[in-house]
Amino acid sequence: DTGVSQDPRHKITKRGQNVTFRCDPISEHNRLYWYRQTLGQGPEFLTYFQNEAQLEKSRLLSDRFSAERPKGSFSTLEIQRTEQGDSAMYLCASSPRSSGRAGEQFFGPGTRLTVL
């Protein structure tokens, strides 16, 4: 399968702990996106990379959140000092350079985070 992959699929942690999620986009897709989805809501945009450059960050991305995409391939999303409100599905998507604004984004299966 050559789709977007995310790891882990599920993460349970205690409040105050740090967690890190990984996203592997479709090969040669230069754009990578992170979204967050809480129960019953549509996904909300968090941040977007073009190659290794982080070009846009949502105000939802507080100081406790950091995302990286070294070398423009896989990406990591780290949450420090987790809070119960961070419990959500974290979705990663990628799209090719050629797609522009019109093209589709390919989503991964998501990482479900539960903060106890």
Partner 1 sequence: DAKTTQPNSMESNEEEPVHLPCNHSTISGTDYIHWYRQLPSQGPEYVIHGLTSNVNNRMASLAIAEDRKSSTLILHRATLRDAAVYYCILQGAQKLVFGQGTRLTINP
Kindly list the residues in this chain that would bind partner 1 in the complex (CB under 8 A). 4, 31, 33, 35, 41-45, 48, 55-56, 91, 93, 101-102, 104-110
**Of the two residues 98 and 102, which places its CB atom closer to partner 1 in the complex?**
102
* CA separation for the pair 92, 75 (Å, rounded): 9
The one-character DSSP state at 3 is S
In the bound state with partner 1, the residue whose beta carbon lies nearer, of 32 and 115, is: 32
Rank residues 45 and 74 by Cβ distance to partner 1 and give the closer one.
Answer: 45
Q: What are the C-alpha distances in Å from 48 to residues 11, 26, 44, 58, 105?
A: 23, 15, 12, 9, 12
Q: Minimal distance in Å, beta carbon 109 to partner 1?
A: 5
At its nearest, how many Å lie between partner 1 and the CB of residue 50?
8
- Residue 10's alpha-carbon distances to 22, 43, 65, 113, in angstroms, are 12, 17, 18, 6
- Minimum distance between the CB of residue 35 and partner 1, rounded to whole angstroms? 8
